[in-house]
Chain A
Amino acid sequence: AQRVTQPEKLLSVFKGAPVELKCNYSYSGSPELFWYVQYSRQRLQLLLRHISRESIKGFTADLNKGETSFHLKKPFAQEEDSAMYYCALRDGGSNYKLTFGKGTLLTVNP
């Protein structure tokens, strides 16, 4: 069974500091990894997907198959980055289902 682990429920950093939100997964096949974000009083939205290798709002995430990780990083955190972040995994084969981690609440302090 596929599983996504986000070891930190809460993460607090100061503005301008680097931030890393950890995500580890267990899956035997070829996974598709995503990061979703939920800002206060807004709907969940896609932030990043590993297949695109993109940088969104200064965030990047690299899929490390050896370590089965997909950590989200940003070199200089901003107050507007404060939100709940969810790592998610989908079977790269025929399965549509998305499995989410429990989420990390990031607070960026001024």
Chain B
Amino acid sequence: NAGVTQTPKFQVLKTGQSMTLQCAQDMNHEYMSWYRQDPGMGLRLIHYSVGAGITDQGEVPNGYNVSRSTTEDFPLRLLSAAPSQTSVYFCASSPGRGGNSPLHFGNGTRLTVT
């Protein structure tokens, strides 16, 4: 199993550009989520999904869109990038709820918006 795979690893965007961060998992996990990691802020939840066709907002959803058309994929879209979105983005998945379902993280995407 590859686990959780994120692409790209690095990306530089100009303000106003759009892009999609890809996330795929091969563990048949129900739950997938996107976090952003900023110095001094920890990890903050952007969006999450509890299954194909179901998504919901997290703590900091503004400026980001998601969709979940398959169990495996959970892309994160930036429609019009802003410098405030410079961050490291992590995708994570888990089999389901409960204490036996820890999150499995991807390696992260480091995004810089100039």
Contact = CB atoms under 8 A, between A and B. Distances in A.
A17 to B, nearest CB: 25
Contacts of B42: 6, 86, 100-103
B103 interface: yes
Interface residues of B, number: 27
A45 interface: yes
Contacts of B107: 43
A32 B105 contact: no
A43 B106 contact: yes
Interface of B: 31, 33, 35, 40-45, 48, 50, 58-59, 90, 92, 94, 96-100, 102-103, 105-108
Nearest to A87: B42
A38 to B, nearest CB: 9
Interface string A34-63: 101000000111100111100000000000
A32 B97 CA distance: 10
A11 interface: no
A69 to B, nearest CB: 17
